[in-house]
Amino acid sequence: METEERRRRGGSAKSSKKGPIFRREEVKERLREKLELERRALKVVERLLEDRVAEDFLIDCAKLITPANYKDTVEERFIAKLCGYPVCPNKLGKIPNQRFKISTKTNRVYDITERKCFCSNFCYKASKHYELQISKTPLWLRQHESGSSGEEVLLSERCLKEEDIEDPLTESKDPVLPLIDSQAQNLIQKRITVEKLSSCLRNIVGPVGLTMSDLSTDLNNLVRTFRFSNTNIIHKTPEWTLIAVVLLHLLSFVSPVVRDALEVSASVQYLNSLMEELGLQQHDLLSLVELFKS
């Protein structure tokens, strides 16, 4: 009995010594595997940056990359002025600078950040369809998922056609774009209004002896009182100029600096000539000012 007990204890001691070493080696092996899978994913991304990628290859890639890898692919292709959908060989045309689009058709604001990475709504939708099928499971854990090959990945049912290609801001193609909620829309509409007015006022303040710093605080306070909609902030440049002049006169009622500047004869002459270029007279301007005051 005693001998057996000693043998059992000795065996325990040996196994306990081997345990930590075995675990360290196992951790190292998993780390090597993780790094190798990540390196392979980066090579796949490099392949997806080619002008045109075969559909079969793109399907196989879903098992080798993560959604983050695919987002990087779309962004890198966009930087290279290529359509973000890897199977599409089209170059991107003129890319809009703005992040948001106001639709006069739906009277809503849309975020076009992702959409402008693609040559068409078709490619945008096809790319999102593919991205959503990429497993969110980390690469080194996927071998433990059910099934050895994972879920079947499907591409869009049809191929890209010439008529699919269009401007990212095409009016008739607005769902496909992410819709901004009402509160965010209001903030964006306010920002757009301030930016447009500021742009017009920069061209006006110099000739009337003012600077933007003379206006910024009062202008922001005034804009806060406005009720925004997508229809009342869409204007052409001459209309924004007229609105800017009207608001400049409104600010003169609360700002002595603005009031004194507008009373100078040179300022009066300049604004009168500006109104003439817009096809308006001084009394038209004063009528608009009174309308805004009320």
* Rounded-to-integer distance, Cα 93 and Cα 208, Å: 41
d(CA 183, CA 292): 25
pLDDT for res 104: 60
Res. 16: pLDDT tops 70: no
* Parallel/antiparallel/unpaired status of strands 108-111 and 100-103: antiparallel
User: Do 164 and 88 form a contact (C-beta atoms < 8 A)?
Assistant: no
Q: What is the mean pLDDT of the chain?
A: 79
Spatial distance between the Cα atoms of 219 and 211, rounded to a whole number of angstroms: 12
Full set of structural domains in the chain with CATH = 21-140 (1.25.40.820), 182-292 (no CATH)
- What was the pLDDT predicted at 152? 61
pLDDT for residue 143: 64
Identify the DSSP state of 235.
-
Q: What is the pLDDT of residue 83?
A: 94
Half-sphere exposure for 153 (CA within 13 Å, toward CB) = 23
Q: 268 with 207: CB under 8 angstroms?
A: no
Q: In whole angstroms, how large is the CA radius of gyration of the chain?
A: 32
- Cβ–Cβ < 8 Å for 262, 208: yes
Question: In the prediction, which pLDDT does 181 show?
Answer: 67
The pLDDT score that the predictor gives to residue 71 is 92
Query: Is the pLDDT assigned to residue 82 strictly greater than 70?
Result: yes
What pLDDT score was predicted for residue 230?
A: 65
- Most confident stretch, 118-122, 161-165, 168-172, 233-237: 118-122
Look at 45-54, 148-157, 190-199, 208-217 and tell me which has the smallest mean pLDDT.
148-157
Q: Which of 207, 205, 227 is nearest to 215 (CA)?
A: 205
The pLDDT value given to residue 168: 43
Token pair belonging to 243: 């609105």
Task: Reduce the DSSP state of residue 148 to 3 states and report it.
Answer: coil
Tell me, what's the pLDDT at 261?
94
Average pLDDT, stretch 57-69?
92
What are the Cα distances from residue 91, in Å, to 51, 156, 180?
Answer: 9, 20, 28
Q: What is the 3-state secondary structure (H, E, C) of 43-54?
A: HHHHHHCCCCCC
Q: What is the DSSP letter of 228?
A: P
Burial of 205 (0-12, 13-18, 19+ CB in 10 A): buried
Q: What percent of the chain has pLDDT over 70?
A: 76
**Is 39 or 152 the better-scoring residue by pLDDT?**
39
Would you call 283 helix, strand, or coil by DSSP? helix
Span 66-70, average pLDDT: 92
| Of 175 and 134, more confident | 134
Read off the pLDDT band of 156 (50, 70, 90): low
Q: How confident is the model at residue 130 (pLDDT cuts 50, 70, 90)?
A: very high
Mean pLDDT of 237-247: 89
